[in-house]
């Protein structure tokens, strides 16, 4: 399955209202990514939480919540911002299938766009949720960086790991059908400029080469848990949040960016 589908998404710069007019990229993306496979729709299985209109196109929170049908588990899911230059914006693969999961990330939304989340069960069945984000339409992917590109390199790859209880309103506990719980949230706060390749240096006016979070590997208690594949759709200095089991005592994160730079962070959860 293709990780990055650029296709006709660059048209969003010329015609930013295509998605709002119902003539967006989803039919082509769906065909490219999933072919003729059936996509089930059920808010009980997968849902998306996004703002009706983002107040900051360059840093918009997107949350996906999943609870598998009874007797089933999830093995992966994809977050797709249809009209972004790299529509497949984040992908999660689980080391072991999960009955329920919650994912949030700060995203760069280039213009008004449908948002799709597609989860795959252990038996290959797909479920989809969709929503829509309205923006200023100013083109966040080409907006100047918020920090000096040279200074950003000094802290590139640094991560802070924060573990906290999930909010009651966001918790999956009451939605899981098998009685298991996942009542902690792991926030991974990443220092990375997430250059899109479409931004200009404000002094030289030359394009800044693309450089973004390629993979984020999460280990819990010494064993692999999940791997996220990123894209230029992640915001500058992104925050990624994953639900983790209540029995988690040790967390390790390994980040690899698109230039091959590797960084790691680890935390022992002595307070839980």
pLDDT, residue 150, reads 77
Rounded distance between C-alpha atoms, residue 215 and residue 260, angstroms: 10
* Secondary structure class of 36 (helix, strand, coil): coil
CB 80 within 8 A of CB 4: no
Rounded distance between C-alpha atoms, residue 144 and residue 199, angstroms: 6
Low-confidence ranges of the chain (pLDDT < 50): 1-21, 168-181, 272
Q: Provide the CB-side half-sphere exposure for 77 (13 A, CA).
A: 31
pLDDT, residue 151, reads 81
* Secondary structure class of 241 (helix, strand, coil): strand
Question: Which residues, in sequence order, are bridge partners of residue 163?
Answer: 186
pTM beyond 0.75, yes or no:
yes
* Secondary structure class of 231 (helix, strand, coil): coil
């Amino acid at each position: 399955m293709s990780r990055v589908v650029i296709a006709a998404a660059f048209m969003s710069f010329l015609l930013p209202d295509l998605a709002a007019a119902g003539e967006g990229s989803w039919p082509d993306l769906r065909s490219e990514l999933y072919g003729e496979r059936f996509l089930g729709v059920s808010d009980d299985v997968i849902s998306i939480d996004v703002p009706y209109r983002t107040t900051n196109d360059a840093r918009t929170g997107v949350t996906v919540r999943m609870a598998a049908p009874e007797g089933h588990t999830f093995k992966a899911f994809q977050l797709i911002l249809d009209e972004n230059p790299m529509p497949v914006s984040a992908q999660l693969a689980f080391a072991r299938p999960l009955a329920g999961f919650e994912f949030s990330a700060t995203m760069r939304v280039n213009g008004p766009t449908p948002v799709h989340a597609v989860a795959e069960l252990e038996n290959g069945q797909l479920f989809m949720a969709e929503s829509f984000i309205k923006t200023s339409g100013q083109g966040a992917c080409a907006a100047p960086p918020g920090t000096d590109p040279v200074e950003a390199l000094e802290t590139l790859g640094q991560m802070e790991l924060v573990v906290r209880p999930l909010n009651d309103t966001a918790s999956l506990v009451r939605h899981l059908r098998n009685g298991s719980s996942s009542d902690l949230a792991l926030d991974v706060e990443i220092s990375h400029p997430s250059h899109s390749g479409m931004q200009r240096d404000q002094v030289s006016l030359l394009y800044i080469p693309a450089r973004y979070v390629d993979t984020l590997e999460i280990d819990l208690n010494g064993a692999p848990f999940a791997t996220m594949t990123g894209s230029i759709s992640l915001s500058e200095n992104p925050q990624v949040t994953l639900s983790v089991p209540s029995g988690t005592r040790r967390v390790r994160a390994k980040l690899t960016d698109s230039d091959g730079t590797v960084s790691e962070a680890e935390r022992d959860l002595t307070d839980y």
